Amino acid sequence: MRYAYYTLAFVVVLLLSVMGFRGMTSTRPPIEVFPDMDHQAKYKPQAHSEFFADGRADRPLPAGVIPRGRSAGEPDAAFLRADDFRYQGKNADGSFARGFPADLVISREFIERGQSRYTIYCAPCHGALGDGNGITKSYGMLVTPTYHDERLRAMAEGEIFNTITHGKNTMFSYADKIAPDDRWAVIAYVRALQRAHNAKIDDVPLDQRQGLK
């Protein structure tokens, strides 16, 4: 019987400590078992400071500071990524742009950069040849399209840029993995794959045709 009282008392204390003070407010600071980094010697934005003569915690910019995205020679030039073509694949009217941004040089190196990015990020689904037969197909991803149909061959470069940036249906976005200029490199490589897939004998230099026929 004695144990029953002990147990009852224990349960009452337990209930009170867990639920008894719910909803009660206190003006005292909470007990902090682990204060983590809640209290730091730092200024909040636009706060007052005793340290600086003008009393402001925010300091004025030193002379000659240039906002990120502008260069010293042209402090009034547009901010970084103001170029819709290069960073969104779009024309001023919002339609998908064709071709490549004028600032990018489509060199062999550029296309090889695209090939390396393509092999890492796209080939698992779209296949090394761009025919949609990547390794994921054997694991059940059957919907990956080939690049070699009319629609994708005719698709504006800007729309492919948009697909890499934002993804499409089951294909997710690669914006966090492939930098904008690298996306253009990937597109150049996709174009190379498409061109290679539809090559004619006339595309092969004369002296190399012999072995092909």
**Residues in touch with ligand HEC (CB under 6 A):** 121-122, 124-126, 136, 143-145, 152, 160, 163-164, 168-171, 174, 178, 186, 190
Pick between residue 83 and residue 124 the one whose CB is nearest to ligand HEC: 124
The residue among 153, 133, 132 whose CA lies nearest residue 196 is 153
Q: How far apart are CA 121 and CA 172, in angstroms?
A: 11
Name beta bridge partners: 48: 56
Pick between residue 192 and residue 204 the one whose CB is nearest to ligand HEC: 192
94 conformational bin, left if phi > 0, alpha if psi -120 to 50, beta if neither:
left
For the CB of residue 92, give the shortest distance to ligand HEC in the complex, in Å.
22
Q: How far apart are CA 51 and CA 53, in angstroms?
A: 7
For 161, residues 6+ apart whose C-beta sits below 8 A from its C-beta are 88, 89, 183, 184, 187
For the CB of residue 139, give the shortest distance to ligand HEC in the complex, in Å.
10
For the CB of residue 133, give the shortest distance to ligand HEC in the complex, in Å.
12
Pick between residue 85 and residue 147 the one whose CB is nearest to ligand HEC: 147
For the CB of residue 138, give the shortest distance to ligand HEC in the complex, in Å.
13
Pick between residue 6 and residue 139 the one whose CB is nearest to ligand HEC: 139
